[in-house]
Amino acid sequence: MRQKHNIDDILENGIELLREKGYNNTGVEEILKINHIPKGSFYNFFESKEDFALKALEKYVQKQFGYIVSLLGNRSVSPVERLKKFYTDMIEFNSNEDCAKGCLLANLTQELGGTNPKFSDAGKKHYEKIGSLIAACVAEGQMSGEITDKFEASQLACFIHNSFNGAVLRSKAGHSTHPMVTYMDIMFDLIKK
């Protein structure tokens, strides 16, 4: 009897492999091995390794997006506290992995965004989507007087998130949450009204 393979399981396992090793250091053979599938099954689901990675990225971002929507959209908590919780959760997530893996979106965008238009387009689309949720939360904070209104909400959201991603990169380099914790200490002081 032939084993039935599930695309969601293949993508979930692949996400972890891509987060750990990156795109260029992950081969199709490794994806096959971790999923216990033959090559033919892989190509029934995916046109190529690139197609696989783009679908894995889409799945990863959709999962993250659901969490971000529920957290940043929770109006029973102040906008600043929602933003702090969002970034504190990411620090904890990275800390639990010794700051070694990071975010698949950031990793693939950094590794391939400058050379592969499909990944740069996907990165741009996903960052804009996340940025719009952060901007909505920032705008609420500006209206309530918690967050500075010296800048447009979208500009401030972009600065907040881009700065955090830089801190994650530094944290990966040193396997320490210190850059992310420093980010939190300074950023939330800078944006308060």
CA distances from 155 to 43, 128, 129, 134, 161 (A): 42, 12, 14, 10, 10
pLDDT at 5: 73
Residue 60, pLDDT > 70, answer: yes
CATH fold for domain 60-190:
Tetracycline Repressor; domain 2 (1.10.357)
In the DSSP assignment, the letter for residue 48 is: S
Tell me: the pLDDT tens digits for 180-190?
A: 999 999 999 99
- pTM score, two decimals? 0.91
Tell me: the pLDDT tens digits for 75-95?
A: 999 999 999 999 999 999 999
Q: Please, are residues 123 and 109 in contact by the beta-carbon 8 Å criterion?
A: yes
What's the chain's average pLDDT?
A: 95
Residue 4, pLDDT > 80, answer: no
| Region 63-82 average pLDDT | 96
